[in-house]
């Protein structure tokens, strides 16, 4: 962004007021056409633009996605039989090591990140001799649905440059090498809706606030002002030569961060009048803070966890963290476990049941202990009933 010395340079017509009759004005004004009210530019609602403006250039959206992906990936998925998790079988080994090149945590971080960046996440199954041996994440912007005459997807095309690979559903077994996870989209039957798209305008406002703040810092945190020509020796206005000379000197010697604080030498009837920061400028800072809060709201992250001030919704950080896990992370992980179980059942049998191992989540330790204590204090239930209600194996008491 141009700083205030380069932003605008105008010569006003002569005024007829009683105080400044015939006194021209050279004004400098902080303005940027890219973010002006008459030419506001919004980020396009496509994956590349949203990923660039939202994830790569916006700290709030970046941190929201990282918080969700890392927290959700830390919850283990287990294969359950009756009331306990199975210790070892092919499905368990696959979930513990989905991909041979990266860890389980990195694999699921990528999965959840893609889901929140685009609203879609795709997994490819690698099958050798009829046995599923590995899973890989595929970039959602490279996937294109192959539809039938009714508009329903029958396969997927994965495009990288000029190369294309097609994945189709096996008509005999119904198996698909592609697993598509999506967030609900109200106007699309195939693709999901990204939280970034819902928060796109707030992200643009927040990014524009960063550009504005950077420009203000480049100007040594000073607002714009005006040069007033009072006239000398009977002259009522600057000549064209004087005007161009003044403009050239200001552009070359008083612009940019390197010239911040440099004194302005005035001569020939010129006077500098500083303009204080307007209420609009001051409110811009508040608007950026509210935009950050709106971004966090779209992702379901309590603003307190992001360090955004002015939020008194939660009594303390512990309550905010518990709400984050209960309202955002657990529903996401449960949905993922259920969808993976439905997909992988084609290889491991219809009785496959994948669940999130919630007992290993540290944030829910106190809540879990309180629930167990309440169960233990109940006198009208047997030990077997209590263990069933708590989701614990009952063989130990039989």
Q: Are 137 and 121 in contact (CB under 8 A)?
A: yes
**107-153 pLDDT, tens digit each:** 999 999 999 999 999 999 999 988 899 999 999 999 999 988 888 88
Query: What is the percent of the chain with per-residue pLDDT over 90, rounded to a whole number?
Result: 38
Q: Which of 85-99, 130-144, 378-392 shows the lowest per-residue confidence on average (mean pLDDT)?
A: 378-392
Cα angle for residues 91, 94, 95 (degrees, 5° grid): 90
pLDDT surpasses 70 at 38: no
Quick one: pLDDT at residue 364? 82
Residue 76's contacts (CB-CB under 8 Å, 6 or more residues apart) are: 95, 356, 357, 360
- Per-residue pLDDT band for 40 (boundaries 50, 70, 90) equals low
pLDDT surpasses 80 at 212: no
Rounded CA gap, 68 and 73, in Å? 8
Rounded CA gap, 246 and 225, in Å? 15
**266-287 pLDDT, tens digit each:** 555 666 666 555 555 556 778 8
pLDDT surpasses 50 at 17: no
Q: Are 112 and 122 in contact (CB under 8 A)?
A: no
Tokens 């020939």 locate to: 268
Residue 1's contacts (CB-CB under 8 Å, 6 or more residues apart) are: 32, 34, 211, 212, 214, 215, 218
Quick one: pLDDT at residue 35? 42
Record the pTM: 0.75
Is the Cα torsion angle 184, 185, 186, 189 positive or negative in sign?
negative
Tokens standing for residue 261: 């604080």
Quick one: pLDDT at residue 279? 57
pLDDT surpasses 50 at 5: no
Tokens standing for residue 213: 């703040």
pLDDT surpasses 60 at 3: no
Rounded CA gap, 330 and 165, in Å? 34
Strand-pairing partners, residue 124, are 136, 178
**Which region, left, alpha or beta, applies to residue 349 given φ > 0 means left and ψ of -120 to 50 means alpha?**
left
State the average pLDDT over residues 16-33.
Answer: 45
Quick one: pLDDT at residue 269? 63
Residue 314's contacts (CB-CB under 8 Å, 6 or more residues apart) are: 302, 304, 320, 323
Domain ranges across the chain:
4-41+202-293, 363-398
Of the segments 103-117, 210-224, 255-269, which one has the largest average pLDDT value? 103-117
> How many C-beta atoms lie closer than 10 Å to residue 128's C-beta?
8
Quick one: pLDDT at residue 224? 59
């Amino acid at each position: 962004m141009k700083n205030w010395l380069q932003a605008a340079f105008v010569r006003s017509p002569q005024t007829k007021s009683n105080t400044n009759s015939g006194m021209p004005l050279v004004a400098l004004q902080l303005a940027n056409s890219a973010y002006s009210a008459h030419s506001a530019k919004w980020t396009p609602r496509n994956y590349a633009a949203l990923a660039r403006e939202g994830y790569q250039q916006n700290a709030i959206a970046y941190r929201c996605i990282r918080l969700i992906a890392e927290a959700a990936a830390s919850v283990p998925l287990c294969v359950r039989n009756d009331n306990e998790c199975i210790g070892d079988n092919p499905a368990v080994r696959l979930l513990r090591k989905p991909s041979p090149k990266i860890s389980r945590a990195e694999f699921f971080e990528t999965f959840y990140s893609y889901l929140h960046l685009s609203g879609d996440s795709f997994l490819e199954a690698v099958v050798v001799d009829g046995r599923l041996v590995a899973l890989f994440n595929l970039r959602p912007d490279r996937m294109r649905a192959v539809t039938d005459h009714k508009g329903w997807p029958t396969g997927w095309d994965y495009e990288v440059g000029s190369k294309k690979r097609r994945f189709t559903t096996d008509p005999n077994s119904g198996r698909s090498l592609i697993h598509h996870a999506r967030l609900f989209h109200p106007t699309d039957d195939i693709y999901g809706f990204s939280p970034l798209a819902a928060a796109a305008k707030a992200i643009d406002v927040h990014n524009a606030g960063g550009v504005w703040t950077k420009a203000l810092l480049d100007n040594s945190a000073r607002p714009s002002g005006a040069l007033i020509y009072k006239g000398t020796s009977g002259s009522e206005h600057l000549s064209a030569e004087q005007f161009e000379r003044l403009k050239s000197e200001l552009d070359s010697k008083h612009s940019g961060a390197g010239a911040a604080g440099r004194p302005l030498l005035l001569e020939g009837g010129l006077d500098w009048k500083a303009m204080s920061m307007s209420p609009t400028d001051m409110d811009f800072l508040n608007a950026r803070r509210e935009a950050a809060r709106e971004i966090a709201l779209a992702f379901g992250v309590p603003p307190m966890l992001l360090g955004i001030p002015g939020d008194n919704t939660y009594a303390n950080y512990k309550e905010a963290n518990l709400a984050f896990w209960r309202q955002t992370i657990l529903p996401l992980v449960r949905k993922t476990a259920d969808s993976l179980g439905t997909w992988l059942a084609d290889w491991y049998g219809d009785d496959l049941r994948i669940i999130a191992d919630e007992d290993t989540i540290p944030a829910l330790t106190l809540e879990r202990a309180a629930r167990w204590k309440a169960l233990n204090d109940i006198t009208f239930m047997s030990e077997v009933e209590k263990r069933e209600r708590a989701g614990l194996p009952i063989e130990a008491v039989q």
